[in-house]
């Protein structure tokens, strides 16, 4: 009997020790990398770039890093190949509105005299204080505001009561292998009177609302290269107008200005970067790597271009008044 008890005891000890976790380090040696981010915008002459470095933390919560990774002192050169012009960025800092992670002002770089005026390749090169070089190429794209079908748009729509539709002419870039990607937006501009002062705000209108287990949620147009029209449901526009003052009984505190239909275009690099960060595999599949796209040679980040055009869409005063709001 004693022998049996001893054997059971030994077996229990062995089994308990087998059940223990093995320690394994999910981390390897830190990888020093730098990220350059710059998106050239066609609707402004102020262009901005940032450079940050990779970091490591104790444990697995990257938010615990409080050492500002944005670096200054780099030399950034932008070449606009259409004219051969070369621009050099200046570095500066910005006081952060959110100091929850980093308390020091954010370092960034800018030029304020470059507004691209026609389609052309553009390139960037950054030489970091430690001599490391980051570079990338892209294409500045254009779309004429007249690409949007020239007709009278109003809210509510005068042509069909069910939706407000916009269409535009697809453009083909002259730069080889380039492609234009479109993101259409419908925005309602309004002001809310607070303390007698109107504060200008805007409300983005979704394509429609979808029913889900936690209530309805909005669905906005996604970035696509092969679309030339978009329709906004009238009921969705009405609901967006209602949501402007949701929970506020005093509707007269709201002044509805107008709506704007904006067509944003991007180059393919920015489109892929933007799309990749918005995708995930699915709920059940498990992937041990993450989507990551960069077109920066020697590092991470994105160098892309963005342009936009828009038309005003008046909202009829009698329609605004129906919601209890003030017009204009």
Partner 1 sequence: MLRGFVADSLTAEALPYANVLIKELNRGATTDSRGFFVMASLPNRRLTVVISYIGYRSKQFIVDVEPYIVTDLRALLSSTNIEMKTIEATGSRVAKENATDLSLQRIAMRDLENLPKGVELDIFRSLQTLPGVQTGGDVSARFYVRGSPSNENLVLLDNTTIYNPYHALGIFSAIDPDMISSMEFYKGGFPADYTHRLSSVLKVVTKDGNKNSFGGKAAISLLTAKLLLEGPIPSGSFIISGRKNYSDVILKKFRNNNSIPADFYDLFAKVNYSDNEFMQDAKFAVSFFKSGDKILNDNPRREDFTWDNSTFAFNYFQVSDSPLFYQLDLSYSTFNGEKIPNFSGAKGLKNELSDFTMRVDFNYVYDSKDELAGGFKITEVHTDLILENFRGQATNTSTRGVNVSAYAKYKILRSPIFGADIGARAHATRFAGGGSSVFIEPKTSFTLRFIPEVALKGSWGIYMQDIVTVSDENEVVSIFEPWIITPLYLDPSNAIHYIGGLEITPTSNLSFNIESYYKIMHNLAIVNDQKFFESDRDLISGSGKSYGIEFEMKYMFNPFRFSGSYAWMRAFKDVRGKVYSPRYDSRNNINLSLEAELGGGWVASAVWSYTSGLPFTQIAGYYDRLTIDQLSDNQFLLDSYNPFVLLGEINTGQLPDYHRLDLSLSKKIQINRLKMYIDLSVLNVYNRNNLFYFRRDNGERVNMLPFLPSVNFKVEL
In the window 170-209, what residues touch partner 1 (CB under 8 A)? 177, 183, 185, 187, 204
Distance of CA 88 to the CA centre of its chain: 26
Both tokens assigned to 62: 């990257």
Q: Among residues 113 and 214, whose Cβ is nearest to partner 1?
A: 214
Q: Which helix (H) or strand (E) holds 189?
A: strand 181-194
108 binds partner 1 (CB under 8 A): yes
**Nearest-approach distance from CB 241 to partner 1, in angstroms:** 20
Nearer to partner 1, 38 or 241 (CB): 38
Q: For residue 252, give every residue at least 6 positions away whose Cβ sits within 8 Å of its Cβ, in sequence order, or none.
A: 324, 325, 326
End-to-end CA distance of the chain: 95
Of 285-304, binders to partner 1 (CB under 8 A) are: 285-293, 300-302
Find the binding residues for partner 1 in span 110-169 (CB under 8 A): none
For residue 267, which of 176, 138, 145 has the smallest C-alpha distance? 138
List all residues 6 or more positions away from 189 whose beta carbon is below 8 Å from its beta carbon: 200, 201, 202, 256, 257, 258, 259, 260
Residues 6+ apart with CB under 8 A from 154: 313, 314, 315, 316
Q: Select 120 or 294, whichever has its Cβ closest to partner 1.
A: 294
- DSSP category for residue 161: S
Contact between 227 and partner 1 per CB under 8 A: no
Could you say which of 1, 5, 59, 318 contacts partner 1 (CB under 8 A)?
Answer: 59
Residue among 16 and 152 whose Cβ is closer to partner 1: 16
Within residues 23-42, the interface with partner 1 by CB under 8 A covers 23-33, 35, 37-39
Residue range at the interface with partner 1 (CB under 8 A); choices 72-80, 111-119, 241-249, 269-277: 269-277
Give 160 or 280: the residue with its C-beta nearer to partner 1.
280
Binding-site member from 127, 171, 255, 275 for partner 1 (CB under 8 A): 275
């Amino acid at each position: 009997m004693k022998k049996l008890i001893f054997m059971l005891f030994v077996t229990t000890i062995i089994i308990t020790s087998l059940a223990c976790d093995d320690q394994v380090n999910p981390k390897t040696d830190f990888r020093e990398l730098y990220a350059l981010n710059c998106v050239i915008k066609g609707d402004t002459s102020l262009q901005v770039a940032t450079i940050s470095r990779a970091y490591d933390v104790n444990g697995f919560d990257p938010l615990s890093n409080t050492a500002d990774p944005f670096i200054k002192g780099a030399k950034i050169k932008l070449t606009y190949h259409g004219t051969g012009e070369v621009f050099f960025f200046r570095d500066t800092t910005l006081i952060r509105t959110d100091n929850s992670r980093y308390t020091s002002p954010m370092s960034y770089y800018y030029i304020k005299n470059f507004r691209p005026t026609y389609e052309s390749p553009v390139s960037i090169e950054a030489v970091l204080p430690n001599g490391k070089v980051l570079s990338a190429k892209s294409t500045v794209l254009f779309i004429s505001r007249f690409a949007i079908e020239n007709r009278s748009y109003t809210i509510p729509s005068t042509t069909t009561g069910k939706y407000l539709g916009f269409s535009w002419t697809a453009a083909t870039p002259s730069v080889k292998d380039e492609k234009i990607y479109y993101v259409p937006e419908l925005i309602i501009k309004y002001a809310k009177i607070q303390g007698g002062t109107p504060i200008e705000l805007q409300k983005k209108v979704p394509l429609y609302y979808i029913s889900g287990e936690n209530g309805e949620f909005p669905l906005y147009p996604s970035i696509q290269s092969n679309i030339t029209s978009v329709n906004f449901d009238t009921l969705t526009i009405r609901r967006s107008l209602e949501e402007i003052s949701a929970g506020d009984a005093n509707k007269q505190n709201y002044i509805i200005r107008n709506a704007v239909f904006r067509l944003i275009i991007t180059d393919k690099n920015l489109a892929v970067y933007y799309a990749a960060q918005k995708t995930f595999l699915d709920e059940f599949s498990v992937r041990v790597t993450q989507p990551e796209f960069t077109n920066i040679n020697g590092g991470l980040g994105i160098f892309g271009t963005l342009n936009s055009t828009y038309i005003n869409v008046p909202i009829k005063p009698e329609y605004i008044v129906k919601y209890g709001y003030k017009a204009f």
